Structure formats: C-alpha cells, structure tokens
Structure 1
Amino acid sequence: MHNLRIVVVNPVAFDGDNDPAFAAQAARSNDLRIGLLQAGYNIIASLPADLYLPDRIAQLQPDMIIIDAESDARDVLEHVVIATRDARRAIVLFTEDDKKSSMEAAMAAGVSAYIVAGLQTARIKPVLEVAMARFNQEQKLLNELSDTKLKLADRKIIDRAKGLLMERQQLSEQDAYKKLRRLAMDKNLKLSEVAQRIIEANDLLG
C-alpha cells in the first residue's frame, strides 16, 4: 500500500504574503505532507487546482489523488473530477467543511473518502487504506457492470444477425447460429464481430 503514487492537490493561492487563509492552508498542506511522508507514502507531486491539472495528472498517472482544501472544496473537486474523467482514480478529500451537503456532493462526484479535521498523522494511514479498498471495490463493480452491458449488447447484435440469416437463407435459429459460429472460426473473429459485419452488409444492400 505504501508504494502508492500520490498526487496532492491544493487550492490555487493568490496572495501568499498577507492572506491569513493562505497561511492556514499552507500550514495544513505542510502537516499533510509530513504525515504522508512519515506514514511511508510516495508523494510524486503537489499541484494547484488549475486548468493544467488534467494534463499533469495524465502525465504523472498517480494511483491516488489527495485533495487538501480547508473550506469550500467545490472548485478544487471540479478540476480533479475533470482530470480523472477518462481514468478513474481513488480520491481522498481532507477538509474542515463538515456540511452534509458538501460531503454528499463530494461522494457523488467520486470521492472515495471525505475526511473532516483528519490531518492527524496517526489517522492518515488507515484513512488511505480504507479509501483505496473502497475505490477498488467500486471499480470492480463498475467493471462487472460494464462487462454485463457489453455482453447484452453483443447478444442483441448476434440475435439480429441470426434473424437476418433466418430470413434471407430460410434457416432455423439453430442453423443460423451454427453458421455464425462457423464464420467466426473461419475468419478468426468474435461471434459479435461477424454478426456486426452481417448487419452492416445487410444495411448496405438494403
């Protein structure tokens, strides 16, 4: 678990010299970084939540993204969601925002763990382990759902191709299926790929 490649994302800072909010955020960020390093984690980058974030995350390919936002994290979360839209990753949000609406919005956006006032070093390791386990379980369910949808789509294509063979060549359903299998074996293609070609040929010929 400690071999996780982690990217920490912080809000964009505008005035680091005179802004008390910036000073508080900087202190939090430092505590988080120290806690991660003491727990043995590998921080590969600390990035601002700006327009370049999706490209940076795509280049770095982290295993986990940690958002460190003391208060309203919606803008930061929006950048992270965009950055992980095409390749999902475990997301952990450390914040001081304990509003239920904020937590629900974050979880709906794909956050694996929403941690309020949880920057104590001793908490970081179990929090990240639970977040990664939850993310892996969700990813497994999503993959299973995707496989099921794909199988259903393939079945519809095969059934349609069978229907065309039955209609055009006066075959029984069993014989039409056997013909599809034989064509797939002869051409070294999936059954659904042969079925799709039959459908496309039929559409071309009208």
Structure 2
Amino acid sequence: MSDRITIVVVEEDRERAISIVDALRASGPYDVHVIGNASSLARRIGALAPDVVLIDIDNPTRDMLEELTLASGPLERPVAMFVSGAASGLAREAVEAGLSAYVVDGMQPDRLKPVLDAAIARFQMMRQMRRELAETRRALEERKVIDRAKGLLMKARGIEEEEAYALLRKAAMDQGRRVADVAEALVTASGLLS
C-alpha cells in the first residue's frame, strides 16, 4: 500500500461519521470517504477503489453481512466491520467471509488506528498465504503433468525415469520453454493420438 491510504467508511449516522473521519485524519495521512447508506454499495466502493473499508453497523443480519462483504471486496482489500453487540455466530461467519477484523462494541474513534493497523496486517498476511497456496497448487499440478509425461516417455521408449526427465528437460531447453510446458504438450499430444 502507498503512504497515503484511501479509506471508505460506511456509516449512516452523520455525527458518528464526522467523529470517525476526524479520528482517522488525526491518526494518519488518510484520504477518507464516507458512504452514508448501503444502497449500491458495491458500485460506490468500486468507484472509489479504496485501500481499506471500515463498516459501522448496529446489528447486522447474516444476509446483510453477506451483502456488505461481497460489496466491500474483502479479498481485494482489508475490511473491518464494527458492530454494536455480539450476534451469535456472526463473528465466525465474518471471518470466513474474509473480513480482516470484526469488532464488537461499535466503532470507537480512539480504537480506530490500532484496529486499522491490525486489519491491514491480517489482510496482508492472508493475501500472502493465498498467493503461496495458489503457487503450491500450481506446482503440484505441474508435477503431476511432468510425472505423466515421464511415464509416457518411459513406456514409449523403454527408458528409466531419470532418462525420461532428462529428455523433457533437454526439449524444454532446446525450445526455450519450461519443463512443465513441454510435459503438458506431450500429455496433450498423447491424448490426441490415443
């Protein structure tokens, strides 16, 4: 994130919105935008493209939680939701929906900065974990394709696994491609020929 963070605050009460904006501006170099009602929330948040979304709501329902999390894009940016009271089961659902923070007892101006910092840190950690998981899945899929290609070469040429891999690697170097790409092409061609 850049030095100057853009924050969208979803708050219906004008007086609370003003105190939240004042507290945020006093605690850091933030560009703060307030959305006073939840109608067309997804479009409005999308148009502002904030770095962080803070949602203050008295008593969210499951449907409202789902709508707000979809609209605010918790997988795209940190989203913190402040609620007035503990609704049974909603904290777990909020975390499962991808919210970076779910804070009970409402949005208190003096607690904004620490909650904001924690939400950003948690979001960055989760984004890194999602990235690593995607890379691991991709590597596993590539490994499976390479193993299938080696098996095809071993069967077709009557060679050992090491020789089959050496053939794949040499073909990849000769073609300026990755071993996984050459293996994928071999497996695809084999499927067409059988």
Percent of paired sites with the same residue: 37
Instruction: Name the counterpart of 1:6.
Output: 7
Alignment of 1:93 with 2:62, yes or no, is no
Alignment of 1:42 with 2:31, yes or no, is yes
| Aligned mates of 1:59, 1:187 — CA distance in 2 | 45
> SS in structure 2 opposite 1:93?
strand
Alignment of 1:195 with 2:183, yes or no, is yes
Amino acid at match of 1:130: A
What whole-Å deviation, never above 9, does each CA across 1:54-97 have from its counterpart, x for those lacking one? 34444443221111212225444323432466953211001203
| Aligned mates of 1:158, 1:89 — CA distance in 2 | 36
Normalised by the length of structure 1, the TM-score is 0.80
Q: 1:42: how far off?
A: 1.8
| Aligned mates of 2:137, 2:8 — CA distance in 1 | 33
Q: 1:45: how far off?
A: 5.5
Q: 1:196: how far off?
A: 0.7
Does the aligned pair in 2 maintain the 1:54–1:83 contact within 8 Å?
A: yes
Q: 1:121: how far off?
A: 2.2
> SS in structure 1 opposite 2:55?
strand
Alignment of 1:29 with 2:12, yes or no, is no
Please list every run of 5 or more consecutive structure 1 residues that lacks an aligned counterpart in the other structure: 11-21
Instruction: Select between 132-141 and 1-10 the one with higher mean Cα deviation.
Output: 1-10
Instruction: Name the counterpart of 1:102.
Output: 90
Q: 1:133: how far off?
A: 1.0
**Equivalent runs, 1:3-152 vs 2, <5 Å:** 3-10=4-11, 25-40=13-28, 41-44=30-33, 46=35, 48-50=37-39, 52-72=40-60, 74-83=62-71, 87-152=75-140
Amino acid at match of 1:110: G
What whole-Å deviation, never above 9, does each CA across 1:84-115 have from its counterpart, x for those lacking one? 66953211001203224222221121111112
| Paired residue total | 192
CA RMSD, Structure 1 to Structure 2 (Å): 2.4
| Aligned mates of 1:37, 1:199 — CA distance in 2 | 58
Q: 1:166: how far off?
A: 1.0
